[in-house]
Amino acid sequence: MKKRTTICVIGLGYIGLPTAALLANRGYDVHGVDVVQSTVDTINQGNIHIVEPELDTFVRSAVNSGHLKADTKPKEADVFIVAVPTPFHDGFVPNTDYVIAATKAIAPYVKEGNIVILESTSPVGTTDTVNDVLKQSGVDASKIHVAHCPERVLPGHIMRELVENDRIVGGITPEATEATAAFYETFVRGKVLQTDAKTAEMAKLTENSYRDVNIAFANELSVLCDKFDIDVWELIALANRHPRVNILQPGAGVGGHCIAVDPWFIVHAGGEDAKIIRTAREVNNYKTQWVIEKIKNTALNFEQQNGQKAKVACMGLAFKPDIDDLRESPALYIARQLKEAGVTLLVAEPNITAHDEFEIVQDSDAIEQADIVVFLVAHKEFRGIRIFGKEVVDFCGVLKQ
């Protein structure tokens, strides 16, 4: 097979930039594309616009070697990788506009023998849509390879997992599957598993829906335990001593670009047949609303007992521990709703220095100045904190760690 040496990556976010930097450090010439000029400028200076361990070293090395360059427009390449967001509209309707726009953008540069890979997590059938858009744009789809290879990495461990994790490759044709799998095998140490495009799309949605369902079970337990005056953390620890039970830890809801979004893609397409997946999404969304009401009631009780409004410290804004990612974050949503309700907030988030909506204060300052301390995210900086003379509400179990 022809050696493919040039890569064009569309979307330089949490997946696209690590992928581009990794490939560039493996000797590929990588042309990264992003619609945000400041992102392009930052990368071309050898810097990063997102926080991810080791990513800064990879990007700096890739740029300094000349193997990674960023621009706002695509260029010809052997392999095109689309890694753009796939959010949803109101009503949880999948939005593939970014994927379609990216496909149209690369169409003038796609030529015979090229591989076009959709890495964006997408509703079933989106890879077929990419193929159709390329056809409509004048590309002879019979002479290229279009496939889906969903990302499946954990924020905070992306650079390692891009290499070590197994990957699923599903092409529009068997030939596309084989060609795309051969490309991933040049840099992935995990197994590269071959299937068709729709199965690959559904596999990623299934993985995240599975996790969402299990988190929903833990979150529902936490609500029930609050009603029964039971320590949910002790309960789960005891139940997990059963050799075939492994209950996850509850939290303030579910966030991020995957678990909080992907199950809706199945629900939208599956309708009434997606009963458990829909219910899990509703349970996890309800848990966030439940947390908001719990905090508001705690603040109201303080005001009634002390004759003054409570200062509430919200500890954490990220969607999960030890990262700076705020996408679909229940903690951020909770803080916004509390602010809108007139609650006086002190916001601590050790992984970011500033936010457009909130003044970010030091952890110790937030705790010292607050009347009520609310833990929303189990960041490592919060573990082992001892608090005296304050009312503490721990929704993420960080004080149990």
Is the pLDDT reported for residue 2 higher than 50?
Answer: no
Q: Do both 323 and 291 map to the same domain?
A: yes
User: What integer is the mean pLDDT of 157-164?
Assistant: 96
Q: Is 69 marked active-site?
A: no
- If asked whether residues 43 and 115 sit together in one domain, one would say yes
199 falls within a domain: no
pLDDT, residue 4, reads 64
389: which residues sit within 8 A by CB, 6+ positions away? none
Instruction: Among 136, 163, 190, give the residue marking a domain's end.
Output: 190
Domain that holds residue 110: 6-190
CATH of the domain at 333: 3.40.50.720
Is 258 among the catalytic positions?
yes
Mean pLDDT value of segment 38-51: 95
In a domain, 255, yes or no: yes
The answer to whether residue 200 is domain-embedded is no
Residue closest to 254 by CA, chosen among 213, 201, 204:
213
Same domain, 183 and 263: no
179 and 226 in one domain?
Answer: no
Both 135 and 229 in one domain: the answer is no
* Per-residue pLDDT at 179 exceeds 70: yes
CB 57 within 8 A of CB 63: no
Mean pLDDT of 315-334: 94
Tell me, what amino acid is at 394?
Answer: D
Report if residue 196 sits inside a domain.
no
Q: Are 229 and 223 in contact (CB under 8 A)?
A: no
Q: In terms of domains, do 139 and 273 share one?
A: no
In the listed set 136, 157, 190, which residue is the last one of a domain according to the structure? Answer: 190
The C-alpha angle 51, 55, 60, rounded to 5 degrees, equals 120
Tokens of 345: 């907030």
Mean pLDDT of 7-15: 97
Residue 307: pLDDT band (50, 70, 90) is: very high
Q: 168 with 302, same domain?
A: no
Q: How high is the pLDDT of residue 120?
A: 95
Indicate the SS3 state at residue 314: strand
Q: How many domains does the chain have?
A: 2
Q: Are residues 246 and 335 in the same domain?
A: yes
Q: Is residue 150's pLDDT more than 90?
A: yes
* Whether residues 29 and 144 fall in one domain: yes
DSSP 159-213: HHHHHHS-EEEEESSHHHHHHHHHHHTTT--S-EEEEEHHHHHHHHHHHHHHHHH
Question: What rounded mean pLDDT belongs to the chain?
Answer: 95
| Domain match, 352 and 299 both | yes
Residue 109: inside a domain, yes or no?
A: yes
Residue whose pair of structure tokens reads 């929903």 in the numeric block: 216
H helix intervals, 66-196? 97-106, 126-136, 158-164, 174-184
Decide: helix, strand or coil at residue 316: coil
In this structure, the dihedral spanned by the alpha carbons of residues 93, 150, 104 and 266, taken in order and rounded to 10 degrees, is -20
Tens digits of residue pLDDT in 65-99: 999 999 999 999 999 999 999 988 777 899 999 99
User: Is position 36 within any domain?
Assistant: yes
State pLDDT tens for residues 343-361: 999 999 999 999 999 999 9
Task: Please report the pLDDT score of residue 256 as a whole number.
Answer: 86
Q: Which one of 204, 287, 311, 320 is the catalytic residue?
A: 204
Single out the residue in 135, 162, 190 at which a domain terminates.
190
Q: What would the pLDDT profile of 97-137 be if each residue is shown by its tens digit?
A: 999 999 999 999 999 999 999 999 999 999 999 999 999 99
- pTM, whole model, 2 decimals? 0.90
Q: Are residues 211 and 151 in the same domain?
A: no
Residue 198 belongs to a domain: no
In a shared domain, residues 179 and 211: no
pLDDT at 19 over 80: yes
338 belongs to a structural domain: yes
pLDDT value of position 1: 39
pLDDT of residue 377: 97
Query: 2, 8, 69, 258: which one is catalytic?
Result: 258
Q: Is the pLDDT of residue 216 over 90?
A: yes
